[in-house]
Copies of this chain bind each other. A is one copy, B any other.
Amino acid sequence: MEKSILKIGIIGLGTVGTGVVKTLKKFNNIKILKAAVKNINKKRDVSLDYITDDPYEIANDPEINVVVEVAGGVDPCLDVLKTAIKNKKHIVTANKELLAKFGDEIFNLANENNVTVLYEAAVAGGIPIIGPIKTTLRGNEFDKVVGILNGTTNYILTKMETDNLSYADCLKQAQELGYAETDPTNDVEGFDTMFKTAILANIVFHKKIDLSKIYREGITKISIDDIKCAKEFGYKIKLMGIAKKVQNKDVLDIRVHPVLVSEKSMVSGINNATNTVLLEGFPVGEIMFTGPGAGEAPTASSVVGDILAIASEISYTDTVLPYSRVKPQDNAIQQDILETKNSYYIAINAQNARGTIGTIGTICAKNNINLQSIIQKGIKEDNTAQIIVITETSLEADIQNALSEFKNQNIEVTNLIRVI
């Protein structure tokens, strides 16, 4: 019985840590035994049984199975996690800087001690990317991994473009909204993107990556003029991490800098704080993972996924396999299409165009359907016309009733398409 509870020590109770504690509440076979924080007197959003300011209390606690590190930074995390690994604890960490700089040391120590280190949250927050590369996609040879990996800089570049504001103004706005830190260097100079790119390159190409050999350039020199000129040529400017194989050579081209991407590319549509990772490999081809790259909840999703993966691996829960077998399930209660609510596009071929719009309006009103817009596309010589109606959100049953009434009035509906 005791053995069936996974016992966790968490280091860091900031945004992400708080999200993790909240999300883990619904799993009653996982218990947070201790949390380590910098200031134990700070008021917090979550309450825990035991809070300390000494992370080694967690690393050395014989009861704890998994150490979750969401504090960030190298010092003291490197030494604390090494201590925990030597004490045979599994590790879940979101610490991109630590892994980019000391990943090799940490993974080797974990191997020696037969424990697992998972770090899905270290790259692209809530987007599953490390897991898929290591599992579903592991039959592939990859040529390339590139991404928009930093939400702050993508937010600033998007704002510069859409609001026609200078870099300095957008940075200030991002700081006010909490998207950028008081000292924004780590984000705007590309360090954060560099750490994440190095981690992705390591997973994708199975080689140790030397950070000092990665060319890195931030977004501080990008002017509103650059953004406008790029647009004239059909490009947008994005800060991207790039890691690719040099053709026919055992050499990797890894770098971080602003790039012009074609407005037609899918990457150019990734705006604000959204992140994206694009992989190119064989046999899979080109795939793209898009989502929130930071924030309490999305990052917690990845950290909790890692905790559950370890729980499965070491059989602390009833989900033994990574792709758990399907447990017996109840029947879904499924909604009938008539009970759904949608906005509707209705294409009408009106024989008697002049009288029809009024009839359409009357029938819709009678059936509780509000119109968002209605366009009549010219009346032809023979008094016929095409009329397009877009409704507000309406009940499908009401729409079907209206369609019947249209039919009775000889109003021909040529198509009905739902809008989402």
Chain A interface residues toward B at CB < 8 A: 19, 22-24, 27, 103-104, 107-108, 110-111, 116-118, 120, 126-128, 130-132, 134-140, 146, 201-202, 205-210, 213-215, 221-223, 225-226, 229-230, 232-233, 235, 237, 240, 242, 246, 249-255, 257-261, 266, 269-270, 281-292, 295-298, 300-302, 304-309, 312-313, 319, 321-337, 340, 345, 347, 373, 375, 377, 386, 388, 390, 414-415, 417-420
Contacts and interface: CB of A to CB of B under 8 A. Distances in A.
User: Which of A22, A282, A335 is packed against the most chain B CB atoms within 10 Å?
Assistant: A335
Nearest to A279: B291
A420 B240 CA distance: 10
Given A110-B325, A209-B334, A292 B300 contact: no
A135 B131 contact: yes
Contacts of A300: 139, 283
Contacts of A230: 345, 417
A207 B135 contact: no
B283 A213 contact: no
17 contacts: A111-B327, A135-B323, A136-B302, A136-B305, A137-B301, A139-B300, A146-B420, A201-B332, A229-B386, A232-B388, A246-B335, A258-B417, A261-B420, A284-B302, A289-B289, A313-B321, A322-B322
A138 B321 CA distance: 13
A210 B285 contact: no
A219 B68 CA distance: 49
Contacts of A120: 136
A23 B321 CA distance: 24
Nearest to A233: B390
B283 A291 contact: no
Contact of A309 (B23, B103, B135): B135
B415 A222 contact: yes
A132 B414 CA distance: 41
User: Which of A223, A237, A309, A334 is packed against the most chain B CB atoms within 10 Å?
Assistant: A334
Contact of A330 (B136, B207, B419): B207
Q: Enumerate the 7 nearest inter-chain pairs by beta-carbon distance, A residue then B residue, closest first.
A: A287-B291, A139-B304, A283-B297, A207-B332, A322-B322, A128-B136, A215-B337
B415 A226 contact: yes
B390 A329 contact: no
Contacts of A206: 327, 329
B138 A213 contact: no
A287 B283 contact: no
B139 A414 contact: no
A335 B137 contact: no
User: Which of A130, A139, A327, A414 is packed against the most chain B CB atoms within 10 Å?
Assistant: A139
Nearest to A283: B297
Contacts of A130: 323
A284 B290 CA distance: 12
B420 A260 contact: yes
